[in-house]
Amino acid sequence: MGYWLMKSEPDVFGIDDLERVGVEPWEGVRNYQARNMMRDEMKKGDLAFFYHSNTTVPGIVGVLRIHREGYPDDAAFDPDHNYYDPKSDPDNPRWYRVDVAFEEKFSEVLPLSWLKQQPELSDSPLVRKGNRLSILPVTEAQWRFIMEHAHRR
């Protein structure tokens, strides 16, 4: 089973939105590395941390589950859509998305500032400077470490 971390701006789509709707297409990813992970590596049932970026306290706020594996991101074909990309062709889609399902909201945010202080997480790209990837792999050890702390609070 794979473990991931997926970033979203809570002003656009946050953990509370996911809890309300239950299942949501994770659209709008326009980065090739992140695209490759969604298209090729994410499997149904994989778990991912939900990370809030661009907010007062950036950090991990909960857990989601991969509900549907990678399929073309239709938003790229719609000229009226924010995520429109004229270079993506329905016959040869450039961008992919997965569907995610709400799993759990933590009682408190695990702030990035705290994550950065944990030696167990020092190898994660999340805490490395200048990381801008919106989807990151998480190791099983890192997953367990973070989950323990989330449930201890």
Partner DNA sequence: GCCAACGTTGGC
Q: Under the criterion CB under 7 A, does residue 134 sit at the interface with DNA?
A: yes
Q: Under the criterion CB under 7 A, does residue 152 sit at the interface with DNA?
A: no
80 φ, ψ (degrees, to nearest 5): -85, -5
CB of residue 85 vs DNA: minimum separation in angstroms?
8
126 φ, ψ (degrees, to nearest 5): -60, -40
Binder among 23, 31, 36, 123 for DNA (CB under 7 A): 31
> Which CB, 9 or 22, lies closer to DNA?
9
The pair of three-digit structure tokens given for residue 76, joined into one six-digit string: 């790229």
CB of residue 151 vs DNA: minimum separation in angstroms?
23
Q: Under the criterion CB under 7 A, does residue 58 sit at the interface with DNA?
A: yes
Q: Under the criterion CB under 7 A, does residue 129 sit at the interface with DNA?
A: yes
Sort 132 into a burial class: Cβ within 10 Å, 0-12 / 13-18 / 19+.
exposed
Give the binding range for DNA (CB under 7 A) out of 42-50, 53-61, 96-104, 142-150.
Answer: 53-61
| Residue type present at position 114 | W
Taking the C-alpha atoms of residue 61 and residue 84, their distance in angstroms, rounded to an integer, is: 29
Q: Report the candidate in 3, 14, 28, 41 with the shortest Cα–Cα distance to residue 126.
A: 3
Opening angle at CA 53, ends 38 and 109, nearest 5: 105
Q: Under the criterion CB under 7 A, does residue 30 sit at the interface with DNA?
A: yes
Helical (H) or strand (E) element with 24: strand 23-25
Q: Under the criterion CB under 7 A, does residue 62 sit at the interface with DNA?
A: no
Q: Under the criterion CB under 7 A, does residue 130 sit at the interface with DNA?
A: yes
Q: Under the criterion CB under 7 A, does residue 81 sit at the interface with DNA?
A: no
Q: Under the criterion CB under 7 A, does residue 36 sit at the interface with DNA?
A: no
Per CB under 7 A, residues contacting DNA are 7, 9, 30-33, 53-55, 58, 87, 112-113, 116, 128-134
